[in-house]
Structure 1
Amino acid sequence: MLNIGCKQVLKVVKSVDFGIYLGENEDACAKERILLPKKQVPEGISTGDELEVFLYRDSSDRMIATTNEPKLMLGEVKELKIVSVGKIGAFLDWGLEKDLFLPFKEQTRRVKENDPCLVALYVDKSGRLCATMKLYDYLKTSSPYVIGDHVKGTIYEISGNFGVFVAVDDLYSGLIPKKEAQADYKVGQKLNLRVTEVKEDGKLDLSAREKAYLQIDMDAESILEAIDEYAGVLPFDDKASPELLQREMGLSKAAFKRAVGHLMKENKVEIKDGKIWKKR
């Protein structure tokens, strides 16, 4: 069976002026033959020889073979570069003569020319190869990571209901749950994260924050820096709204209260008149 989007070893069944035809066997009928254009035919190849090729569709929508190395195949997730954006979608450089189409409906953010873009390859209803940024069904759940491990990942989608979806190592399925997703995240952003849970199905729950006893020092330091920027007086205290604290400090209310309490115990700040003052 001829499989588009994959590499296959096929046999040379016929030579013509414009290339060679390949098939699964030498008896392959005309409908089961795939053309390898002449400019890609290796020297000295003969009828009956075997050749590894990648199958895709050319600009005329015909299945065709290539000996060029694609940057992405079915079952893989890779970062590719946007080469152009048109009325119906964008096009990616994937190492072949015909650029890879990324439809608007498969984008999780609007992309621009030269943007790096993490995508998977799929076959659309018309049998053509296309790219998608919706990676949930394409990421693996067999990561080697355990709770407490630190990992790197790329945000590929953001959900108001669930949180921030992350491709760990651009390979494994991860999620920053909604309650943990406090920062202003963006699709395509690369993060250093901590594994907080490994689900029964192998998917990873993640956090951009360290364990509370480690994170508290970092949060306290960021609060002191903010106070300095406000000339020694932060114009709100730990009773401020969660929205204000998230916008101004990038912290949840709980994290802010913990860090301010820590600073007060160390006698570095005091709360007065609804403001936080840095002690001299």
Structure 2
Amino acid sequence: MKELGKINQLPINRFTDNGAYLMLSDQTEVLIPKRYLGGTEKEGDILEVFVYTDSEDRPVAVTDRPLALLDQFAVLEVKEVTGIGAFLDWGLEKDLLLPNSEMHQKVSKGDKVLVMVCIDHKTNRLLGVSKYEDFILSDTSIFEVGQEVDALVFDKTDLGFKALINGFYEGLIYGNETFKPLEAGDKVRAFVKKVREDGKIDLQLTPIGRQKFEEGAAAILEILEKNAFLPLNDKSKPEVIQETLAMSKKQFKQCIGQLYKKKKIIIKEDGIYLV
């Protein structure tokens, strides 16, 4: 069934007391339960549905949207751990099974785990696979230093935070360069700091070079335009600057230096004022 695990546009073939049957591409049918119908549908109408299997492994169509489709990554929370594996919350009535055989490492209830949604071709069921290395692409030649990317934080290490880049590449955000709280499941804008020979990518959350300070200055100016005052200056403690602006003291000083030279701010002992 090529519709399994995907969002599909399917026509209503017929109605029953339990809902409606939608026509699949192989001319078989899949049931959409009555609770997912609005009551005004008619035969031939096209419905946008997600197709997976219910608790009895029967194909079923729903209008709910999972957190990840087939062949997509997502960071999902562990709801329950059993003898056969862990059950993950992926936004549907039936949880996604992460079998013991497909675990990257053991998990506990409440953990957030990076998984790829796959099909078990023996049972024709969707399942999660947390052995993410099997799906990571190693050719990182398409990336350049300073390039902006989408990053999905999925693990914390002694060095910092592992992140999935643009869906299929692995990167690392160093902890000592992180100026705002991060946790598994966070989606952040990041910038390529270094492309390593082993295919791994170092990331940072602030732009590279001049753009970094221009964006920082713009953020400070936006705060001042709202409040006309910011209780920080070049003598403020680094941790206070980090908590307030999510940037290092070095970046902060360079940003306010730019704004001061452009005569957009006044720096006093109690803080910064908008001109």
TM-score, normalization by structure 2: 0.58
Q: Which residue of 1 aligns with 2:80?
A: 86
Distance change in 2, residues 1:133/1:187 (3 Å): farther
Alignment of 1:9-158 (within 5 A): 78-79=73-74, 85-86=79-80, 88=82, 89-91=86-88, 99-101=96-98, 105-106=106-107, 110-111=111-112, 118-120=114-116, 131=128, 135=132, 139-143=136-140, 144-158=142-156
Q: Which residue of 2 aligns with 1:262?
A: 258
Residue 121 of structure 1 deviates from its aligned partner by 8.0
Alignment match of 2:186 (pick from 186, 189, 203): 189
Cα contact 1:119–1:133 (8 A) shared by 2: yes
Percentage identity across paired residues of the two chains: 26
Work out whether 1:236 is the aligned partner of 2:232.
yes
CA distance in 1, matches of 2:169, 2:178: 19
Larger Rg: 1
Distance change in 2, residues 1:247/1:193 (3 Å): same
CA distance in 2, matches of 1:134, 1:244: 39
Aligned partner of residue 246 in structure 1, secondary structure: helix
Unaligned runs of 5+ in 1: 1-41, 43-58, 60-70, 112-116, 123-128
Alignment match of 2:198 (pick from 193, 201, 216): 201
Query: Once superposed, what is the RMSD of the aligned Cα atoms?
Result: 4.0
Alignment match of 1:169 (pick from 160, 166, 169): 166
Cα contact 2:87–2:95 (8 A) shared by 1: no
Which amino acid in 1 is paired with 2:173?
I
Residue 233 of structure 1 deviates from its aligned partner by 2.3
CA distance in 1, matches of 2:236, 2:249: 8
Distance change in 2, residues 1:197/1:109 (3 Å): farther
Residue 171 of structure 1 deviates from its aligned partner by 1.2
**1:146-177 residue CA offsets vs partner (Å, 9 max, x unmatched):** 32333222111123x31221111221111122
Residue 145 of structure 1 deviates from its aligned partner by 1.8
TM-score, normalization by structure 1: 0.57
Distance change in 2, residues 1:98/1:208 (3 Å): closer
How many residues are paired up? Answer: 197
Cα contact 2:146–2:207 (8 A) shared by 1: no
Distance change in 2, residues 1:119/1:263 (3 Å): same
Unaligned runs of 5+ in 2: 1-25, 27-54, 56-68, 119-125
